[in-house]
Amino acid sequence: MSSFPSAWWSTPPHTWGRAVYGVVLNHRPALAALGDAVHQPPYKAPPQWPVLYIKPRNTHCGDGPVGVPHDVPELELGATLGVVMGRTTQGVSPDQALSQVAGYVTVADVRVPHQQFYRPHVRLIARDSFCPMAQRITPASAMAHPDQLEVKVWVDGALVHHTDTADRIRGVAQLIADVSSYMTLYAGDILLLGVSHGAPRVRVGQQSRIEIEGLTPLTNRFVPEEPAP
């Protein structure tokens, strides 16, 4: 797919069926919080390139219920900026990167809390409904500074996390440039900028609202995961 379909501007991004990629440890305070652990075997150093993971189609959803596995007391709710690609992108420079973006979307990167930072286990990050996205994307033309957006997370009406899209190891442009240097991104693919340090936890029965400055907010409620048929 070479360009962003016009019909997608009015349809929820979770219905597109496009690839969604997350990146680990892209928030400087999150990396710093690991201390000497990043210098221990088997890694022995912080990552030199973006370490990506996939949020597959079964995780994609919109506003509404998110299933909590019966054997998990709580989930981590990672509010993050979704960068929606507008065209086929390969090998672009940071100066060119933002021109490849169609828009931005509020995303919840939900996961079972874990310490597998470089190689997150699929069963912990890819359960059904573990990647809610807001109902609409905001055009890139309306977001002059995507690396300077305020991010708020509310749980049951209380503000539990207040961060921003700044202080990233790789900002939006650099992340696109680095990722596109070794893999092609297509129109509608979504790159997640990364979860900030101190992401809140949520339990069954709670409701969350994620607000990213200038974007459509995202509201979810956490319910018991439905058993497999």
| Residue 229, in any domain of the structure | no
Domain range holding 139? 6-223
Structural domain contains residue 39: yes
Q: Sorting pLDDT into bands at 50, 70 and 90, what band is 199? A: very high
List the one residue out of 126, 123, 107, 144 whose CA is nearest residue 13: 107
pLDDT tens by residue, 153-177: 999 999 999 999 999 999 999 999 9
What tens digit of pLDDT does each residue of 2-28 get?
789 999 999 999 999 999 999 988 887
Please give the residue that has the higher pLDDT: either 44 or 13: 13
Beta strands in 46-166 (DSSP E): 52-54, 60-61, 64-68, 75-85, 101-111, 131-132, 138-139, 150-155, 158-164
In the sheet that holds 218-224, the strands lie side by side as 64-68, 218-224, 207-212, 150-155, 158-164
Strand 138-139 versus strand 64-68 pairing type: unpaired
- Give the chain's domain count: 1
Burial of 107 (C-beta count, 10 Å sphere; 0-12/13-18/19+): buried
103: domain CATH number is 3.90.850.10
pTM reported for the whole predicted model: 0.93
Asked whether residue 228 is domain-assigned, the answer is no
Domain assignment of residue 1, yes or no: no
